[in-house]
Amino acid sequence: MNISTTAKRLLGAATMLGIVAVASSTYASYSYTDDFESYTAGDPIVGENSGVGIAWTGAAEDLSTVVATNRPSWDGSTVPVTPTAPSQVLSLDTQATTLTNTPTALPYDAYYYVDQMVYMVPSEEEPSSITNDTSVHTAVYLNSTSNLVAFTGGTDGTNNVFVTFTNEVLPETWMRLTVTLDFDTGDGFTQKRYMNFAINGVDLESDSGYASIGDEGVPNTGPWFFTANKNDKPTDVVASLAYQGTGMIDDVVVTDEDPFGTASPMYWIASVLTGDGSAAPSGAFQVNEGDAQDVVYTYTGGSAWGAILEFYENGVPVTDAVGKTVYTSSYASVMMNYTNEVTFGVETAPAGTIAPTAWVLSYGGDPSALNEDNDALDIDQEWLLESDPTVSNVFEIIEIGFDGAKPYLCYPAWGLPNGTLVVSNTADLVGGPWTNLVTGTLVEDVPGTPGVIKWTGSADATAGDAMKIIVTE
């Protein structure tokens, strides 16, 4: 998705805007807004929705559509329009054409904030259509390495260049993009104007930028850049916004009031999870600088011995989290971005492949021993069966019979199986075939016979059949 601001070159539009500019010294505060909430979801922005008097125009092949969404909502400091949850956004699909938004008449020689929520899809190449349009003040897109790229007037305002910011941006994730255009200060006669870019309220800097407006000469690393096309003198006004490609946008605002005021910078907390586990809040979210924040990580697998196996915060291991089923990362004052990489699972004993170390230790066993009790079962088979790995035992049917017409069998174990239990029968013990019986019920520690598991089938069986039992992973 490419985003650009342009100055219209049509005489009629220029004349209309000129009238507003005459009164620019006394104009009241202005703000143009489009949050897409008043449109019909499912309708294209070009065509069906054009009848409600909106400011969007595009080619007939443009497929950009207003869609219902569960876009995240943030507090008022981090969204351009409203802190309430949005219900609709514009999904872009311009089909190699340009979709244009023309705000209501705005004054010349003003201080503009072009503010919006964006869901950007990376682009493999620079947008050549931008470089060939001399009316463009600037353009922004996300490159293939997830870096934001801006079209500027270069280090002296005379040679247009693309500036790549080192800040990595999460692709296909909602964020707030704010472009500041200063058409009020600077050299208006030569169109030497300045601009600034921010993601979620945090300025983006480059070694080709300046620390402040008017700080010309040798670039000294900063957030201020010259607008493009100085030599072609585009009009000093945000006459239109242009969009190309795919992605999503919402809460489009053009205003003369600082949308952030004194709001604090924002930082990301991201959770990258492997295995059966959850994070609350989940995914990647933003926190105001200095705010407190907790993130709770929980093992959600079915194993009684499951836990956090690995935990890395910004690449540094957090040993206190390992082995816990629930762990809370607490940040008393967030002053940086955090990425937490968490692996959930069941830690296996060194001698086995599936038996959990904690399970072996719960019996007082040695995790390094494959078959500590020297019986016919190795450590993994003991785990599947839930038999004591420190006591010699056998896996066998110790009782078989009928409860009414339903078959049952009993076998020795210290608890219900950790693996999958399959019971089958046959009328021919020699030649088979064996048929798996429908699922039955299990009773742990049969009354009067502790250490015995009883399986009872849920369907009737024929007297004289042979039965066998298997426990697998």
- Encoding tokens for residue 72? 């995240």
Average pLDDT of span 209-215 = 80
**Which comes out higher in pLDDT, residue 454 or 84?**
454
Grade residue 454 by pLDDT with cuts at 50, 70 and 90.
Answer: very high
List 224's β-bridge partners, or say none.
196, 210
Sheet holding 306-313, edge to edge: 284-288, 266-274, 338-346, 306-313, 316-317
Tell me which of 18-22, 113-117, 437-441 is least confident. Answer: 18-22
Residue 339's Cβ-count burial label (10 Å; 0-12, 13-18, 19+) is middle
CA terminus-to-terminus distance, the chain: 48
Residues 240, 5 contacting (CB under 8 angstroms): yes
Tell me which of 6-20, 197-211, 369-383 is least confident. Answer: 6-20
Average pLDDT of span 361-375 = 91
pLDDT at 32 over 70: yes
Backbone angles phi and psi of 324, in degrees to 5: -95, 145
Give every CB contact of residue 440 below 8 A, 6+ residues apart in sequence.
406, 408, 423, 455, 456, 457, 458
The CATH classification number of 2-255 equals 2.60.120
Residue 384 DSSP code = H
Counting every residue, how long is the chain?
473
In this predicted model, what pLDDT tens digit does every residue of 291-347 receive, in sequence order? 899 999 999 998 888 899 999 999 999 999 998 999 999 999 999 999 999 999 988
Residue 275's Cβ-count burial label (10 Å; 0-12, 13-18, 19+) is middle
**Which residue has tokens 């053009």?**
254
The most distant pair of C-alpha atoms in the chain lies apart, rounded to whole Å, by 104
List 250's β-bridge partners, or say none.
117
Residues 103, 240 contacting (CB under 8 angstroms): yes
Residues 296, 261 contacting (CB under 8 angstroms): no
pLDDT for position 347 = 87
Domain 399-472, second-level architecture: Sandwich (2.60)
CA-CA distance, 112 to 166, in Å (whole number)?
Answer: 25
pLDDT for position 340 = 95
pLDDT for position 12 = 21
In this predicted model, what pLDDT tens digit does every residue of 143-191 receive, in sequence order? 888 889 999 988 877 888 999 997 777 788 888 899 998 877 655 455 5
Residue 357 DSSP code = H
In this predicted model, what pLDDT tens digit does every residue of 45-87 receive, in sequence order? 887 554 444 678 888 899 999 999 877 765 555 677 765 667 8
pLDDT for position 63 = 92
Average pLDDT, the chain: 81
State how beta strands 174-187 and 192-199 pair: antiparallel
pTM tops 0.85: no
pLDDT for position 378 = 93
Average pLDDT of span 259-279 = 84
In this predicted model, what pLDDT tens digit does every residue of 412-421 receive, in sequence order? 998 899 988 8
In this predicted model, what pLDDT tens digit does every residue of 459-473 receive, in sequence order? 888 777 888 899 988
Residue 374's Cβ-count burial label (10 Å; 0-12, 13-18, 19+) is exposed
pLDDT for position 17 = 18
Sheet holding 293-299, edge to edge: 277-280, 293-299, 326-331
- Encoding tokens for residue 56? 């969007």
- Encoding tokens for residue 159? 């040679």
What percentage of residues in the chain have a pLDDT greater than 90?
A: 27
Segments making up each domain of the chain, as ranges: 2-255, 266-346, 399-472
- Encoding tokens for residue 23? 């009164």
State how beta strands 406-412 and 420-426 pair: unpaired
**Which comes out higher in pLDDT, residue 128 or 227?**
227
